[in-house]
Structures are given as C-alpha cells and as structure tokens.
Amino acid sequence: MSRWRPGPISIIVFVAALLPMCELMLPQSAHITEAVRGVFLYAILALGLNVVTGYAGLLNLGIAAFMAIGAYAFAILTCEIYPFQFGFWPGLLLTLPIGALFGFLLGAPTLRLRGDYLAIVTLGFGEIVQDVLKNLDTITKGTQGINPVPAPSFGGSMWTADDEYKWYYLLLALMVVVILGVRNLERSRLGRAWFSIREDELASRSMGIRVERIKMLAFSAAAAIAAFAGGISASMLSSTGEPSNYDFQVSVLALCIVIVGGIGSIAGVLVGALVMIGLNSIVLVKATAALDALGIGAQGNVLLSPNNWKYLIFGLALVLAVRLKPHGLVPPRIERRAS
C-alpha cells in the first residue's frame, strides 16, 4: 500500500468546499457559487457519460435523454399532483434503478451495433424521448414541465432557492459520492473489463470476457448516473422544465466535458466541467452583463450577444480537443503509465 497523497480530484473538491467562505468576503456581484452548482451537476452527468464513452469506448449521443428520464421519474414519484408522493431521498435514490432500467431497454437490442451506428441510435433515442415527453401531455404536462418538484428538507422546513449554500454543499456532496462510486467501478474487475473491450473487443472476447454483458453494464451504469443528475436538477430548479431542456445540445455539452477534460479520466471530467460550464454559465453570463452595462448588448446585433456564440464554442472545443489534445487536459492515469 502506498501512502495516500492528495491527487487532483481531492484538491479540486477541497478548493470547491472552501469557495463559498472565500466568496462571502467578496462583493455580491462577484459571487459565483450558483454557477458553480451547475459545474457540479454537469460533472455528475459527464461522469456518467464517461463510464460508457470513456471506460467502455461506446459513444453515447443521447445521455441527455437519461437525464430527462431521471428528472421526470423523480418529479412523478415526488410531486404532489401524482399519487406516489415519495420524499426527496427515496425519490432521488429510485432514479438510479429507473435510469439503469431504461439504459438496459435501449442497450439490449443495440449494443451489438458498431460504434458509429450505436452513436446514431442513441441520438435517435434522445430525440424520441423528448418527443414522447412533449406529446404525452396528460402525464408529463407537455411543454410546461412538471412542477413544483420538492426540495430536500432537514428539520421540518423545505429548502428554497434562497438556501444557496445548502444546495451548494448538497451538490458537492452528491458529486463526491458519484466520484467515489465511479472510481471504485474503475478499479474493479468490471472496470478492467471495460478498458479491455475499449482497447480490443476481439481480444477481450477471446480472453473470456462476455462483451455484450459488460457493455450493457456500462450503458446501464451511465444511464443510472445521468438519471440521478436529472433528479437532482429537477429538485434544484423545482421543475422538470420543458422536454427540450434535455436536447442534443445538452448531450453534446456533456460530450465536450468528457473530451476536453480527458476521456476516461475522473479528474479530467471535473476540469472539463469547470472549463465548459465555466465558459457557458460564468464567462458568457458575465460578458453579457458587462456588454449590457456598456449599453451595447441589447441593440439586436447578433454578434454582440455572447449567448449566440455558444454553439461555436462547443464546436470549436470538440474539433480542437480531438485535433490537439486527443487525451484531454488531464489524461487518465492508465494512459500515462503506459507511455
């Protein structure tokens, strides 16, 4: 046993835990914890995607669909207009098996497909889920989304959006739980089987790895984690939002996080989430505010609204990352050991 040394993951978590205290010393306009919550949420989603795309090497372009399934499942299980009315914690825990079940349902017939076809099937699944959620409006309330979705409550009173720091630490804690979970998976027999089929499917099969079953587990695990992220997001926003909030753009954002950060690397996913969500919800938002303050933001010129640069940033991030840093900003350790 080697002595424990703080790695990049623990450093990131430690800094994140101290951030609110540092922030309180700064003026209100410099507060960023609310945006950082989004980093945690997307980090959880991307950690899920990382299991299937990073570990097992299967490109999933419909991860947002599982997030939607988690959000709607959580809402239906907990919201007062439905008969179930579970509390926050039982509801949130149930998103895991529900997500895994849908992952299994999609994976069972499709995992034999080759890589690029599988990617397209998952993309199609993502679109179908959105359409079904929108069109089955007797159950899902269509484009209005389901609300109010309950927040956690400790000691009687339920949290509101004002309990900024409670939410912050809850999300941080849930992210740490997910990190510990995927790290244990990564180091397990199952994790090694995932790496093995990613590197060479035929060789793994020859060594007695049951490829279909191992792929299926990766698919289901990713779907479960994404559904978990969906449940958290619905609770935090107190609404599922409309189905198109879980569109292809969300799946691609999660993919950007994994690719830019370092495919197959947990620390990479955290850094990737920080970079991508930081650009998306902190830099772009602050830039918009700054332009508005100068009085040139709202004049209708398409180029002056930073929000309109989003697709370009995601697209460039993907193209440049694949070209210049194929292993990402923080490559996985296994890669480094090999070289």
Partner 1 sequence: MQDSEVFLQQLITGLSNGMIIALIALGYTMVYGIIELINFAHGDVFMLGAFLALTLLGMFGMEAWPQHWQLAGVVLMLVSCAAFCGTLNWSLDRLAYRPLRRASKLSLLVSAIGCSFICTNLGLFWGGMPMDVFAGGVAAAAPKDFPQLVPQYNLLGESAVRVVPADIAVLVVTIPLMIALVYLVKRTRLGRAMRAVAQDSTAAALMGIPVDRVIGVTFFIGGALGGFASVVYALYNNTIGFQMGYRAGMDAFTAAVLGGIGSLPGAVLGGLTIGCVRAMSDQYVETRWTNTIVFGILVLILIFRPSGLLGSTRREKV
> Which stretches of the chain bind partner 1, using CB under 8 A?
57, 59, 61, 109-110, 113-117, 119-121, 124-125, 127-128, 131-132, 134-135, 202, 248, 252, 255, 259, 300-303, 308-312, 314-319, 322-323, 326
CA-to-CA distance for 318 and 53, rounded, in angstroms? 15
Q: Encoding tokens for residue 306? A: 């930073």
CA-to-CA distance for 153 and 55, rounded, in angstroms? 36
In the complex, the smallest distance separating the C-beta of residue 28 from partner 1, rounded to whole angstroms, is 32
Cα Rg for the chain, rounded, in angstroms?
Answer: 20
In the complex, the smallest distance separating the C-beta of residue 324 from partner 1, rounded to whole angstroms, is 10
In the complex, the smallest distance separating the C-beta of residue 329 from partner 1, rounded to whole angstroms, is 15
Minimum CB distance to partner 1 smaller for 15 or for 136? 136
224 and 19 in contact (C-beta within 8 Å)? no
Minimum CB distance to partner 1 smaller for 2 or for 299? 299
76 and 233 in contact (C-beta within 8 Å)? no
CA-to-CA distance for 98 and 94, rounded, in angstroms? 6
Backbone phi, psi, residue 284, to 5°: -65, -40
In the complex, the smallest distance separating the C-beta of residue 112 from partner 1, rounded to whole angstroms, is 8
Cβ neighbors of 209 (< 8 A, separation 6 or more) are 193, 196, 197
Minimum CB distance to partner 1 smaller for 129 or for 179? 129
In the complex, the smallest distance separating the C-beta of residue 42 from partner 1, rounded to whole angstroms, is 17
Minimum CB distance to partner 1 smaller for 109 or for 208? 109
**Looking at the DSSP assignment, which residues form a beta bridge with residue 153?**
158
* DSSP H or E stretch at residue 84: none
Minimum CB distance to partner 1 smaller for 32 or for 101? 101
